[in-house]
């Protein structure tokens, strides 16, 4: 009787083991099909640093960590008091240079008027020279016949020489007036250049003032406040760090023989620990390795949608 009971116990135990094996076989997780590779990774989003363009002091920060922001939204402001003063200085320089342009143009008009007057004097001196030259010619002819005195001939000769010298002086004044006109035109160009330089300086300062408002370059969520109001940062100093939740990727590490079979643009599926039944479609974006003695460079599938 005891022997029969022992046989029944062994048979029962065997049946339980068989049932457990069958249940495990039927309920075991599905393996990876042939031709597929699997690995673990962590989902990450593209990070963006919000930094200063120029050195300065943080005036205020308008967002908190974890806050969602829209593209173009002002996140922080830098102190712009020094820039505002520099802009006023540049505006004053513009006005001064514009006044110099006006003065140079007025001087040009004056020099042009002087040249016209000098040209009129030249014509007058030419007429006088022509008159005294003819008189001198007549006096010399009459002197040869004894019709005029030697003194009269000498006076007419002196008058002709004086008129010729006056004409040369008038022509020299015309040349000087032309040189003065060219100098006035050069002064106008120089003054206009100063105006343009001052205007460029003012535009640069305005651009720096605009850049002192740190704006979100894209939609995303603020991850860290790296600096706080009152801190002085150098150019390129980080103020905030945000993540773009629309640009999400996962990095995997695969052996060389498997990574070499992947194709850029190929399909992938992501399985989350929190939702193991969910398959998220993704695309292979990058696949490369550093070298035979290093761990292969991860390939990064980008999530669709």
Boundary-marking domain end, from 186, 209, 232: 209
Among 209, 231, 261, identify where a domain stops: 209
pLDDT of residue 297: 44
Whether residues 221 and 204 fall in one domain = no
pLDDT of residue 295: 45
Domain count, the chain: 2
Both 39 and 98 in a single domain? no
Considering the domain architecture, whether residues 246 and 276 belong to the same structural domain is answered as yes
Q: Of 209, 235, 269, which residue sits at a domain end?
A: 209
pLDDT at site 51: 95
Give me the pLDDT at residue 293, please. 39
Are 62 and 138 in the same domain?
Answer: no
Mark whether 73 and 87 lie in a shared domain: no
Mark whether 103 and 161 lie in a shared domain: yes
Q: Give the separation between CA 292 and CA 44, rounded to whole angstroms.
A: 27
CA distance 249 to 251: 7
- Residues 204 and 89 occupy one common structural domain: yes
Asked if residue 273 is part of any domain, the answer here is yes
User: Residues 128, 205: one domain?
Assistant: yes
| Rounded distance between C-alpha atoms, residue 194 and residue 264, angstroms | 56
pLDDT at 265: 83
Considering the domain boundaries, does residue 154 fall inside one? yes
Domain of 265, CATH number, reads 2.40.50.100
What is the pLDDT at residue 272?
Answer: 80
Same domain, 201 and 90: yes
3, 4, 9, 20 from 15: Cα distances, Å: 19, 17, 10, 9
Q: Within this chain, do residues 232 and 247 fall inside the same structural domain, yes or no?
A: yes
Cβ distance 46 to 165 under 8 Å? no
**Residue range of the domain that includes 152:** 82-209
Write b or e for each residue in 104-116: b if 16 or more Cβ atoms lie within 10 A of its Cβ, otherwise e.
Answer: bbebbeebeebbe
Gyration radius from the chain CA atoms: 48
Please tell me the predicted confidence (pLDDT) of residue 254: 79
Same domain as 41, residue 93: no
Q: What is the pLDDT along the chain (305 residues), one digit of tens a residue?
A: 555 555 555 555 555 555 555 555 455 555 555 667 777 778 888 899 999 999 999 999 999 999 999 999 999 999 999 999 999 999 999 999 999 999 998 988 888 888 888 888 778 877 877 777 777 667 676 666 666 666 676 676 777 777 788 778 878 888 888 888 888 889 999 999 999 999 999 999 999 999 999 999 999 999 999 999 999 999 999 999 999 988 888 887 877 777 777 778 888 888 887 777 888 888 888 877 655 434 444 444 444 43
CB 64 within 8 A of CB 225: yes
Helix axes 81-144, 150-211, angle to 10 degrees: 170
Q: Residue 33 has what pLDDT?
A: 59
């Amino acid at each position: 009787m005891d022997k029969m009971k022992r046989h029944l116990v062994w048979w029962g135990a065997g049946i339980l083991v068989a049932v457990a094996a069958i249940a495990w076989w039927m309920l075991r997780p599905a393996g990876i099909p042939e031709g597929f590779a699997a690995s673990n990774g962590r989902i990450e989003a593209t990070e963006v640093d919000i930094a200063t363009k120029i050195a300065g002091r943080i005036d205020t920060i308008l967002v908190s960590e974890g806050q969602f922001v829209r593209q173009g939204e002002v996140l922080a402001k830098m102190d712009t008091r020094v820039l505002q003063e520099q802009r006023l200085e540049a505006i004053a320089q513009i006005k001064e240079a514009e006044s110099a342009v006006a003065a140079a143009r007025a001087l040009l008009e004056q020099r042009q008027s002087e040249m016209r007057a000098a040209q009129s004097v030249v014509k007058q001196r030419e007429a006088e020279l022509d008159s005294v030259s003819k008189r001198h010619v007549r006096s010399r002819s009459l002197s040869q016949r004894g019709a005029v005195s030697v003194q009269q001939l000498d006076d007419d000769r002196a008058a002709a020489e004086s008129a010729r010298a006056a004409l040369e002086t008038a022509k020299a004044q015309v040349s000087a007036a032309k040189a003065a006109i060219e100098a006035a035109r050069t002064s106008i160009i120089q003054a206009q250049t100063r105006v343009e330089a001052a205007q460029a300086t003012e535009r640069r300062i305005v651009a720096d003032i605009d850049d002192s408002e740190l704006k979100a370059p894209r939609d995303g969520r603020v991850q860290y406040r790296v600096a706080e109001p009152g801190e002085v940062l150098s150019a390129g100093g980080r103020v905030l760090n945000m993540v773009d939740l629309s640009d999400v990727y996962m990095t995997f590490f695969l052996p060389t023989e498997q990574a070499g079979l992947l194709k850029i643009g190929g399909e992938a599926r992501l399985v989350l620990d929190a939702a193991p039944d969910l398959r998220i479609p993704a695309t292979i974006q990058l696949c490369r390795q550093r070298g035979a003695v290093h761990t292969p460079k991860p390939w990064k599938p980008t999530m669709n949608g």
